[in-house]
């Protein structure tokens, strides 16, 4: 049985950047509560809040020092309970982030673990001796550099798949798995409706800690993460077993959902089957569709990716995304028109359509200088590769700090706030914001968009057009996306009626079974 029966959309909030209510330049939980009416009016059914737990913030909350408390910068547990109640009062479900593979180095578990080799928590993390005077193996960290840091206190290395301040938990230790399951229960008992599960590939690694293979297709820095095929440092032999255990916790509760972070890994080949086996055994679990981040602009491949993902999901709820807090803004990657076409498509895909905060108003990457960079994953501390680009403050209005805060925010507000902002776009019937609102309303009103089947239409006779047929009982919907920059004509079912499009109807020509739409247009018809 599918869970989250009434959820057709999920809105991701990066809490530092959504709304600052206490005037310190950083967003907070009360800020989110304050903006719930906006989300409800937009037509959002569920929110996912990126980490707000106690943390020294070296990775802005993905370095957790207490899994069961709120960092003072975001508020307190009572603020979270209020947010939960207020969201539920508006029939909005609340999903939070679970960060199971690593803690902060300030977490009491790690503080104990590093204190001595015979501490009871020693085996909660991965400690190893030097190997020939060096790191135990060649594993690299995703945030740059080696995945091992030498700790003078006990003269051993500890493993960290990300920053040195994010030591990896040892999931082969049953106590660790138990502790993490209890974290899930803590939040589910409080009434949280779902968990987005971070970096799940790290729960099992090669127990022998063998070297990763060299990636012979890589021509960049031979020392970097991409220079290796990650055939030993992730998806180890116990991956499915531990994932099953974690997903089972969700089965203990009614109507909860778990969504695993998942990115295809070309070097490793098809890793889907490992996930598919688990999610199909646990109907309340799923993974995210992140193929759009590849920026591949090709109708046929896009359709193929969607169908592939849906097949892998089986009966489980799909989660379609175009961006998140780790990817440059979709509008900056593709340009306004192409991004809008993709967002249109995303809002008409089955299951849950996920919106990263600000994408609904077409926010662009921030305009940042070296001095603005806060993300420690940027190896050179330059804006070029920094995730800060997609984390700038939400643009509510055209004022100096965009209605996000009364004071200078932690990251600069984009100058384009003067025309890209909620207040302005609410007034414009053709804005991307109103396009989102209309399509989200359709998703609510017409179950076909959440629950209907999806099939690629191969008969448009036009290679630039991605055609999709959705079907539920006697209803049929047709979605066409023009991947070319010039108008295209193609065939449609004669009696289908246009009900939404990215472009004004003045630019669309329909004559019986012939339809002509502008470049980068998305159109929805119903029969």
Query: At its nearest, how many Å lie between ligand NOJ and the CB of residue 101?
Result: 7
Residues binding ligand NOJ: number (CB under 6 A): 9
Q: How far is CA 204 from CA 143, 162, 403, 433, 455, in A?
A: 19, 15, 44, 42, 36
Q: Which of 325, 333, 340, 443 binds ligand NOJ (CB under 6 A)?
A: 325
Q: Strands 66-70 and 53-54, how do they pair?
A: antiparallel
Position among 18, 67, 148, 162 found at the interface with ligand NOJ (CB under 6 A) = 162
Residues 185-204 that bind ligand NOJ (CB under 6 A): 198-199
The DSSP element (H or E) to which 79 belongs, if any, is helix 77-89
Residue in 99, 169, 203, 479 binding ligand NOJ, rule: CB under 6 A: 99
Residue with Cβ nearer ligand NOJ (291 or 425): 291
Residues 66, 112, 251, 326: which binds ligand NOJ (CB under 6 A)? 326
Closest approach of ligand NOJ to the CB of residue 14, in Å: 9
For residue 118, indicate whether it is catalytic.
Answer: no
Nearer to ligand NOJ, 251 or 265 (CB): 265
Q: Which of 59, 79, 97, 198 is catalytic?
A: 198
388 binds ligand NOJ (CB under 6 A): no
Q: Does 425 bind ligand NOJ (CB under 6 A)?
A: no
In which residue are the tokens 């046929």 written? 300
Considering beta carbons, is residue 110 or 162 the nearer one to ligand NOJ? 162
DSSP state of 125: B
Q: CA separation (Å) from 95 to 2, 23, 364, 455, 459? A: 16, 26, 25, 30, 40
Under the binding rule (CB under 6 A), the answer on residue 363 touching ligand NOJ is no
The nearer residue to ligand NOJ, 71 or 425, going by C-beta atoms, is 71
For ligand NOJ, the closer of residues 29 and 199 by Cβ is: 199
- Judged by CB under 6 A, the chain residues 243 through 272 that form the site for ligand NOJ are 261
Q: Are 183 and 98 in contact (CB under 8 A)?
A: yes
SS3 assignment for 377-411: CCCCCCHHHCHHHHHCCCCCCCCCCCCCCCCCCCC
The two structure tokens encoding residue 66 = 């207490």
Phi, psi of 146 (to 5 degrees): -75, 155
CB of 102 to ligand NOJ, least distance (A): 7
Q: How far is the CB of 366 from ligand NOJ (least distance, A)?
A: 16
Q: How far is CA 274 from the centre of its chain?
A: 20
DSSP code string of 9-77: EEEEE-GGGT---SSSSS--HHHHHHTHHHHHHHT--EEEE---EE---TTTTSS-SEEEEE-TTT--H
Which CB sits closer to ligand NOJ, 62 or 289?
62
Q: Does 465 bind ligand NOJ (CB under 6 A)?
A: no
Q: Is 396 in the site for ligand NOJ (CB under 6 A)?
A: no
Query: Of all residues in this chain, which one has the CB nearest to ligand NOJ in the complex?
Result: 62
* Nearest distance from C-beta of residue 59 to ligand NOJ, angstroms: 5
Q: How far is the CB of 496 from ligand NOJ (least distance, A)?
A: 40
DSSP assignment of 136-194 equals SS--B-TTSSBSEEEETTTTEEEE-SS-TTSPBB-TTSHHHHHHHHHHHHHHHHHT--E
Contacts of 470 (CB under 8 A, 6+ apart): 348, 350, 448, 449, 452, 453, 454, 455, 476, 477, 478, 479
Q: Does 105 bind ligand NOJ (CB under 6 A)?
A: no
Q: How far is the CB of 99 from ligand NOJ (least distance, A)?
A: 6
Give the Cα-Cα-Cα angle 222, 227, 231 (nearest 5 degrees): 145
Residue 13 lies near ligand NOJ (rule: CB under 6 A): no
Closest C-alpha to 198, from 308, 324, 101 = 101
Which is nearer to ligand NOJ, 113 or 165 (by Cβ)? 165
Q: How far is the CB of 62 from ligand NOJ (least distance, A)?
A: 3
The C-alpha R_g of the chain, in whole angstroms, comes to 23
Query: Per rule CB under 6 A, is residue 359 in the interface with ligand NOJ?
Result: no
Q: Does 59 bind ligand NOJ (CB under 6 A)?
A: yes
CB closer to ligand NOJ out of 59 and 388 = 59
Tokens, residue 213: 């293979």
Instruction: Out of 252, 266, 445, 485, pick the active-site residue.
Output: 252
Of 392 and 431, CB closest to ligand NOJ: 392
**Would you mind telling me the total number of residues written for the chain in this entry?**
527
The yes-or-no answer on residue 252 being catalytic is yes
CB of 462 to ligand NOJ, least distance (A): 38
- Let me know the angle formed at the C-alpha of 73 by 71 and 76, rounded to the nearest 5 degrees: 50
As annotated, the active-site residues are: 198, 252
Which residues contribute to the site for ligand NOJ (CB under 6 A)? Answer: 59, 62, 99, 162, 198-199, 261, 325-326
């Amino acid at each position: 049985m599918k869970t989250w029966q009434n959820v057709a959309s999920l809105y991701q909030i990066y809490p530092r950047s959504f709304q600052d209510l206490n005037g310190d330049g950083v967003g907070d939980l009360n800020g989110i509560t304050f903006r719930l009416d906006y989300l409800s009016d937009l037509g959002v059914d569920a929110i996912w809040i990126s980490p707000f737990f106690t943390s020294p913030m070296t990775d802005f909350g993905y370095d957790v020092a207490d899994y069961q408390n709120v960092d003072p910068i975001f508020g307190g547990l009572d603020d979270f309970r209020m947010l939960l109640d207020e969201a539920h009062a508006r029939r909005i479900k609340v999903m939070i982030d679970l960060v199971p593979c690593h803690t902060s180095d300030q977490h009491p578990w790690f503080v104990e673990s590093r204190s001595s080799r015979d501490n009871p928590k020693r085996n909660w993390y991965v400690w190893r001796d030097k190997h020939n005077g060096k790191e135990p193996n060649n594993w690299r960290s995703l945030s740059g550099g080696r995945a091992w840091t030498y700790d003078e206190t006990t003269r051993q290395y500890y493993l960290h798949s990300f920053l040195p301040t994010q030591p990896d938990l040892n999931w082969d230790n049953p106590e660790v798995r138990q502790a993490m399951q209890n974290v899930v229960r803590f939040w589910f008992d409080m009434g949280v409706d779902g968990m987005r599960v971070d970096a799940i590939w790290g729960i099992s690694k090669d127990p022998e800690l063998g070297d990763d293979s060299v990636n012979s297709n890589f021509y960049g820095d031979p020392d970097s993460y991409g220079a290796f095929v990650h055939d030993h440092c992730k998806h180890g032999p116990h991956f499915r077993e531990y994932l099953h255990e974690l997903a089972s916790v969700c089965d203990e509760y009614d109507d909860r959902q778990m969504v695993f972070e998942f990115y295809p890994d070309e070097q490793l080949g098809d890793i889907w089957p490992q996930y598919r086996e688990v999610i199909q055994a646990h109907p309340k679990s799923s993974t995210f569709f992140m193929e759009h981040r590849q920026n591949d602009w090709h109708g046929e491949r896009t359709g193929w990716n969607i169908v592939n993902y849906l097949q892998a999901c089986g009966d489980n709820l799909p989660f379609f995304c175009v961006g998140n807090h780790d990817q440059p803004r979709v509008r900056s990657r593709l340009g306004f028109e192409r991004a809008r076409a993709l967002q249109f498509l995303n809002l008409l895909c089955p299951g849950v359509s996920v919106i990263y905060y600000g994408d609904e108003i077409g926010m662009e990457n921030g305009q940042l200088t070296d001095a603005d960079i806060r993300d420690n994953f940027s190896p050179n501390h330059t804006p070029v590769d920094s995730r800060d680009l997609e984390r700038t403050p939400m643009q509510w209005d055209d004022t100096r700090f965009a209605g996000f805060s009364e004071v200078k925010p932690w990251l600069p507000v984009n100058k384009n706030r003067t025309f890209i902002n909620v207040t302005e776009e609410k007034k414009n019937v053709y804005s991307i914001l109103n396009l989102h609102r209309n399509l989200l309303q359709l998703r609510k009103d017409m179950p076909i968009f959440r629950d209907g089947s999806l099939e690629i239409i191969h008969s448009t006779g036009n290679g630039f057009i991605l055609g999709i047929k959705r079907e539920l009982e006697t209803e049929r919907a047709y979605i066409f996306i023009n991947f070319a920059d010039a108008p295209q004509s193609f065939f449609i079912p004669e009696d289908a009626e246009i009900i939404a499009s990215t472009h004004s109807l003045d630019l669309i020509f329909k004559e019986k079974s012939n339809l002509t739409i502008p470049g980068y247009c998305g159109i929805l018809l119903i029969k």
